[in-house]
């Protein structure tokens, strides 16, 4: 499956974005029950939404902290993978630090942004000389009323597939 084609189509049209979200429901099955969707996608920015629905709620009827963390991880990781070559690099989350500011009683949007220069200087250039690197990406989440719900600091390890060692 050519994921890059779907990503490029999603940047150009609403129909392309709907197709990408449909495909992601199957390729990332953990997120499907939560209803996490990409609402906007640009070269160096993404917005991912999580609906206010029963499956995402905690005991006090707010969106669960773990659902918000999952949405942050998804937004950050997907943005990075849109700029990296899937066949060359493996991306693994090392750590996520969540700071919660306000209770989520409405649908929420997680936003992650990078600049082309930051990506080049902090990811691509170091990967030319190092087997693996770690970077931190910031994700801000707001509800549909504009309340700042949480901030995530997502630490990723990026490594060339040629350097990955797995046990069989």
User: pLDDT band at 167, cuts 50/70/90?
Assistant: low
Domains defined along the chain, listed by start: 41-163 (3.10.129.10)
Kind of pairing between the strands at 132-143 and 89-100: unpaired
Residue pointed to by tokens 């773990």: 66
21-61 confidence digits (pLDDT tens): 999 988 888 888 999 999 999 999 999 999 999 999 999 99
pLDDT at 98: 98
Tell me the pLDDT tens digit for each residue of 121-158: 999 999 989 989 999 999 999 999 999 999 999 999 99
Q: Which helix (H) or strand (E) holds 32?
A: none
Strand intervals (E) in 8-160: 37-42, 45-50, 89-100, 108-113, 132-143, 148-160
Phi, psi of 62 (to 5 degrees): -110, 160
pLDDT surpasses 70 at 1 = no
Q: Are 21 and 38 in contact (CB under 8 A)?
A: yes
Chain segment 52-103, per-residue pLDDT in tens: 999 999 999 999 999 999 999 999 999 999 998 878 889 999 999 999 999 9
Residue 29 has a CB neighbour count (10 Å cut-off) of 9
Give the residue with greater pLDDT, 167 vs 14. 14
Question: What is the pLDDT, as a whole number, of residue 87?
Answer: 82
**Tokens standing for residue 107:** 């649908």
Inform me whether the pLDDT recorded for 165 exceeds 90: no
DSSP class of residue 88 equals: T
Q: In 10 A of CB 161, how many CB atoms? A: 11
* Distance from chain centroid for Cα 99: 17
pLDDT of residue 20: 93
**Predicted local distance difference test score (pLDDT) of residue 51:** 97
**Integer Cα distance of 31 and 167 in angstroms:** 27
């Amino acid at each position: 499956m050519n994921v890059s084609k779907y990503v490029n189509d999603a940047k150009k049209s609403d129909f392309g974005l709907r197709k990408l979200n449909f495909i992601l429901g199957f390729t990332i099955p953990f997120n499907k029950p939560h209803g996490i969707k990409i609402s906007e996608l640009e070269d160096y920015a993404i917005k991912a939404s999580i609906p206010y629905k029963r499956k995402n709620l905690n005991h006090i009827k707010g969106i669960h902290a773990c659902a918000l963390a999952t949405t942050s991880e998804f937004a950050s990781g997907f943005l990075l993978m849109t700029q990296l070559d899937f066949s060359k690099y493996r991306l693994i989350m090392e750590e996520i630090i969540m700071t919660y500011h306000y209770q989520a009683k409405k649908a929420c949007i997680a936003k992650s942004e990078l600049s082309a220069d930051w990506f080049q200087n902090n990811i691509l250039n170091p990967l030319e000389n190092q087997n693996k690197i770690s970077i931190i990406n910031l994700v801000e989440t707001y509800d549909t009323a504009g309340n700042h719900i949480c901030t995530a600091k997502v630490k990723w390890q990026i490594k060339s597939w040629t350097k990955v060692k797995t046990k069989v």
